[in-house]
Amino acid sequence: MNPVVKEARVGETEVVEKAKRRRFTAEDKRRILEEADRCTKPGEVGALLRREGLYSSLLSVWRRQREAGGLAARAPSKRGPPAKVAEPGARRIAELEKELARSQARLKRAEALLDLQNVSETLGVELPKQDEEP
């Protein structure tokens, strides 16, 4: 068998490292936007995008962020919903609401018992006392 053919069959497999998502700081975004704003000739913006490895849609997003003042901040903003700030009386209000719910449940039970007593008196049926077994 030909040794060259044998080597071709047993060649090494190259494992490519998984690509990581690029992150741009506010300073990088401002720099690229300033360069894009200075482009006046046709094709200059395209050359800039190819050189930086960006899509034109990303420039649009960054321009909107710049107009909204999002690129002016030094520190990156935290993702997710804003943290809830506890009001000073919120805990006490929650306790009072639970107590109110318990009291309303007890009131309903008491009203139901009174209605039952009234019905039993009307029908002439004696209800057992709390101490007695039915």
Phi, psi of 73, rounded to the nearest 5 degrees: -70, 145
* 68-101 pLDDT tens trace: 887 776 556 678 888 887 788 888 898 999 999 9
- Predicted pLDDT of residue 36: 93
- Predicted pLDDT of residue 35: 92
- Predicted pLDDT of residue 106: 96
- Predicted pLDDT of residue 4: 52
- Predicted pLDDT of residue 73: 60
pLDDT beneath 70: ranges in the chain:
1-11, 73-77, 127, 130-134
**Residue 130 falls in which region: left (phi positive, over 0), alpha (psi -120 to 50) or beta:** alpha
Pick from 86, 80, 94, 32: which is nearest to 58 by CA?
A: 32
Q: How far, CA to CA in Å, does 42 sit from each of 39, 45, 57, 61, 88?
A: 8, 7, 18, 21, 60
Q: Which helix (H) or strand (E) holds 123?
A: helix 90-123
Phi, psi of 111, rounded to the nearest 5 degrees: -65, -40
The answer to pTM > 0.75 is no
- Predicted pLDDT of residue 13: 75
- Predicted pLDDT of residue 101: 97
- Predicted pLDDT of residue 83: 81
**Contacts of range 87-93, beta carbons closer than 8 Å, 24 or more positions apart:** none
